[in-house]
Amino acid sequence: MIRAPKAYKNIDFLKSRAARPLRILAEYLEPEKRFEELNIRHTVVFFGSSRVSPDKEDAHNTKRYYLAAEEFAYRLACWSKELETEKAGNGFVICSGGGPGIMEASNKGAQKANAPTIGLNITIPTEQKPNNYISPELNFEFHYFFMRKLWFLYHAKALVVFPGGFGTMDELFETLTLKQTHKLEKYNIPVLLYDKAFWQDLFNFPKMVDYGLISPEDVNLFHYFDSPDEGMTILKPMLEKMIKDFRY
């Protein structure tokens, strides 16, 4: 009688419904191990559309979002390297969802600064595949959205949100809800929204306040910015404080 395969080598079992808890746990433990080994403690996370590109011509000039995200990520990554030199351990890593569009732009900007950069990819039917600017050792692939979201926020000290679709809105409003309800230990994490006109046209937050659906102070959970210069002015002091005050 030949030996049966050990359970942890039984691929059919590992892919089965019964082994789902093991797969979920693996998507927690494997990234945790890599982040610890690579000393990743602070990130700035970029969210935004996968459908914009620097070559796409359209009525709304959406390629400007790609170019602004690339420039902003580049400037942040350069500043992070300065922080590492001046205050060892206080640098951060640019993180994205790992795919095309704004995700690619932010990884590209960080790579242009010769800085490491994270891509938290996910397997879905369309649009999503790893871009070419992720640091190979920081390229991740997830099956479960909720585990990917955990790692977006686990090390995040700031979030930068560019215009996007359902996925971007999901990530934005989940973060705002966690901030609003203090379910994040670092509930004062800065959230920056690029292109004030876009967001104000899309969401009437004052109306939500007027209807009593959110509190007046809830509109202070995020900040608008319209250029990398403005973003740096807003984010630098907030990010420095977040990193300085963080306790492990």
Which among 133, 132, 109, 134 has a CA at the least distance from the CA of 119?
A: 134
Where in the sequence is the domain holding 226, given as residue range(s)? Answer: 42-245
Flag whether 9 is in a domain. no
Flag whether 143 is in a domain. yes
Report the C-alpha gap between 80 and 55 in whole angstroms: 29
Tokens found for residue 103? 């995700």
Flag whether 85 is in a domain. yes
Please give the average per-residue pLDDT across 170-186, as a whole number: 94
Contact indicator for 100, 53 with CB cutoff of 8 Å: yes
* CATH value at residue 210: 3.40.50.450
Question: Looking at the DSSP assignment, which residues form a beta bridge with residue 232?
Answer: none
How many secondary structure helices (H) and strands (E) does the chain include? 9, 7
Flag whether 195 is in a domain. yes
- Least confident piece of the model among 57-61, 151-155, 203-207, 244-248: 244-248
Flag whether 37 is in a domain. no
Q: 100-158 pLDDT, tens per residue?
A: 999 999 999 999 999 999 999 999 887 678 999 999 999 999 999 999 999 999 999 99
Flag whether 55 is in a domain. yes
pLDDT band at 245 (very low <50, low <70, confident <90, very high): confident
The CA–CA distances, whole Å, from 46 to 4, 19, 89 equal 46, 32, 21
pLDDT band at 19 (very low <50, low <70, confident <90, very high): very high
CA angle 96, 98, 102 (to 5 degrees): 60
Flag whether 6 is in a domain. no
Contact indicator for 35, 140 with CB cutoff of 8 Å: no
Tokens found for residue 69? 């995200």
Q: What is the number of domains present in the chain? A: 1
- Rounded to a whole number, what is the distance in angstroms from the first to the last CA of the chain? 52
Q: 222-233 pLDDT, tens per residue?
A: 999 999 999 999
Flag whether 13 is in a domain. no
Q: What is the 3-state secondary structure (H, E, C) of 149-180?
A: HHHHHHCEEEEEECCCCHHHHHHHHHHHHHHH
Determine which helix (DSSP H) or strand (DSSP E) holds 95, and give its type and residue range.
Answer: strand 93-96
Q: What is the DSSP string of 197-236?
A: HHHHHH--HHHHHHTTSS-GGGGGS-EEESSHHHHHHHHH
- 183 C-beta neighbours (distance < 10 Å), count: 9
